[in-house]
Amino acid sequence: MAAERSSGHVAALVLARGGSKGIPLKNIKKLAGKPLIGWVLRAALDSGAFDSVWVSTDNDEIEKVAQDFGARVHRRSAEVSKDTSTSLETIQEFLQQHPEVDVVGNIQATSPCLHPSDLIRVVDMIRTQGYDSVFSVVRHHLFRWREVKTPGEATIPENLNPEHRPRRQDWRGELYENGSFYFATKELIVRGLLQGGRMAYYEMKPEHSIDIDIDLDWPIAEQRVKRFGYFGKGTPTVVKLLICNLDGCLTDGRVYASPEQELLSYSLRDLDGIRKLQDRGVTVLLISERMIGPSLISALKLPCKIEANVTDKREVLQRWTSEMGLPLSQAAYMGCSASDVECLKLAGTSAVPVDASTAAKMTDSFPCTQGGGYGAVQEFAEHILTLMETGR
Q: Maximum Cα–Cα distance for the chain, whole Å?
A: 83
Going across the sheet that includes 241-245, the strands are 305-307, 283-287, 241-245, 331-334, 349-352, 366-367
Residue 180 near residue 136 (C-beta atoms within 8 A): yes
- Residue 350 has phi, psi (to 5 degrees) of -145, 160
Is 127 annotated in the active site?
no
- Left if phi > 0, otherwise alpha if psi is -120 to 50, otherwise beta: which for 264? beta
Strand partners, 103: 10, 185
DSSP letters spanning 93-120 = HHHHH-TT--EEEEE-TT-TT--HHHHH
Given the residues 165, 172, 198, 290, the one annotated as active site: 165
Between CA 104 and CA 8 the distance in angstroms is: 11
| Segment (H or E) for 136 | strand 133-140
What are the residue numbers of the active site? 165
